[in-house]
Structure 1
C-alpha cells in the first residue's frame, strides 16, 4: 500500500469519526430536549452526554438550537448545483431538479434512521414551537438557493416569478413526499424519485387549464 493510499484511508476514517460525533451530538441534543425541556438543557449537558468537551461541541455547532435543528435542510452540493444550472445532468428540467433535491434532503443510504430523526424532530417542534421559525428560515434560505440555480439555468432574473415559484413548489413537493415515505427496506432512491415525479405531475394537473 502506498503512502498516498494510507493517507486517503486515514482521512476517510477521520471524516467518518467527525460525522459520527456530529450525529451523536445532534441526537443527544434532541433526546435531552424531549426528556427535560429545551430550557433545561445546556450545551454542557449535550457534550457530557456524548462524552466530549464543550469545545468539541462548538467545533460542530454554533449554538444548542443549531444542534437541535439538525441537517434539514442542509446545503446543496455546490458541484451538483453548478451542473444543474448548466443544464445537466440529463437535460430534463424536472428530473434534474428532482435529483438535486433528493440528494440534498434525503439520505438514501439510511432511510430508516432518517425517518426516526424526522419523527423526533417533529415531536420536538410540537413541544418547542419557538424552534419553528428557525426551521422555516432555513427552508426559505434553501428555496432562494434553488431559485438562483433555476434562474441561472433558464436565463431569468432570480427574483422573477418563474424561478421563485418553481423553487417554492419544488420544496413543497419534497416536504410532502418525505411525509408520505414509508422508509421501508424497499424504499430506494429510484422509488423515491418516481414518487416525487408523480407529485409534480399531480401538481401540474391541478393547475392545468381546463
Structure 2
C-alpha cells in the first residue's frame, strides 16, 4: 500500500473512531457530521469524501471486504491453489498487520455497544453483511466455474462468513498475537465444519 493510500486509510479510520466515540458518549441523534469531522481534525467536506452520512461512518466498511485484486487472484485459482487456504487469505486480506488487528477489534467492540443502544443501525449492518456474502459467493462461483444460480457457492460463502464472524469474536488481541493466529483459527474452524458435515462413513 502506497503512502497516499495509507493516509486515506488513516483518515477513514480516524473518522470512524471519532463517530463511534461521540455516538457512544452522546447518542446517534445528538452528534453532527461537523462534530465528527472536528474530532478527527478534518473538514466536513473531507468527511463526505469518505462517507455519505454519519450512520455510514459507523457501518460503511462493516464487514470488511477484499479488494478487487485480491478477489481476482482468488478467482483465478491463487495464490496457493488450495481452496481453503486461498479463501482464508482472501477473507483476512484487510488485516495487514497486528496494529490493524487490534484497531479492528476495538472498532468492532464499540460498534457492538452502539448497535445495542441504537438498534436501528442493525438493519444497515445486516444489509452490508449480506452484500459481502454475495460478493464472496460470486468469486467462489467464478473460481469453480459454476453457472449462475448454482446453490453451492452461496452455501459455502454463508458458511465462510459465519466462520469469519465467529473467529473474530474468539480473538483475544493480546500482545504478540499475529495475523497468522487469525488464519490458524480460521483453518481450525473450517476443519470443524468439515468434521461435522463431511460424508458419513
TM normalised by structure 2 equals 0.91
Measure how far apart 1:52 and its partner are. 2.6
Measure how far apart 1:70 and its partner are. 4.6
Are the equivalent residues in 2 in contact too, given 1:158–1:164 (CA < 8 A)?
A: no
Consecutive unaligned residues of structure 1, counting only runs of 5 or more, are 1-10
- Determine if the alignment matches structure 1 residue 32 to structure 2 residue 22: yes
Number of residue pairs the alignment of both structures matches: 198
CA distance in 2, matches of 1:167, 1:17: 32
Consecutive unaligned residues of structure 2, counting only runs of 5 or more, are none
**Could you tell me which residue of structure 2 aligns to residue 166 of structure 1?**
156
- Determine if the alignment matches structure 1 residue 109 to structure 2 residue 92: no
Superposed, 1:42-57 pairs within 5 Å as: 42-57=32-47
Measure how far apart 1:107 and its partner are. 4.7
- Determine if the alignment matches structure 1 residue 132 to structure 2 residue 122: yes
**Could you tell me which residue of structure 1 aligns to residue 52 of structure 2?**
62
Measure how far apart 1:17 and its partner are. 3.3
- Determine if the alignment matches structure 1 residue 204 to structure 2 residue 194: yes
CA distance in 1, matches of 2:126, 2:186: 21
Moved more, 63-72 or 132-141: 63-72
CA RMSD of aligned residues (A): 1.7
Measure how far apart 1:189 and its partner are. 1.9
TM normalised by structure 1 equals 0.88
Moved more, 64-73 or 169-178: 64-73
- Change in 2 beyond 3 A, CA 1:158/1:76: farther
- Determine if the alignment matches structure 1 residue 157 to structure 2 residue 147: yes
- Change in 2 beyond 3 A, CA 1:130/1:86: same
CA distance in 2, matches of 1:29, 1:176: 25
Tell me the SS of whatever aligns to 1:150.
Answer: helix
Measure how far apart 1:28 and its partner are. 1.0
CA distance in 2, matches of 1:129, 1:80: 33
Q: Deviations over 1:50-85 (max 9, x none)?
A: 333211211111111110125322332211111111
**Could you tell me which residue of structure 1 aligns to residue 138 of structure 2?**
148
Higher relative contact order (CA 8 A, sep 6+): 2
- Determine if the alignment matches structure 1 residue 41 to structure 2 residue 31: yes
Tell me the SS of whatever aligns to 2:196.
Answer: helix
- Determine if the alignment matches structure 1 residue 122 to structure 2 residue 112: yes
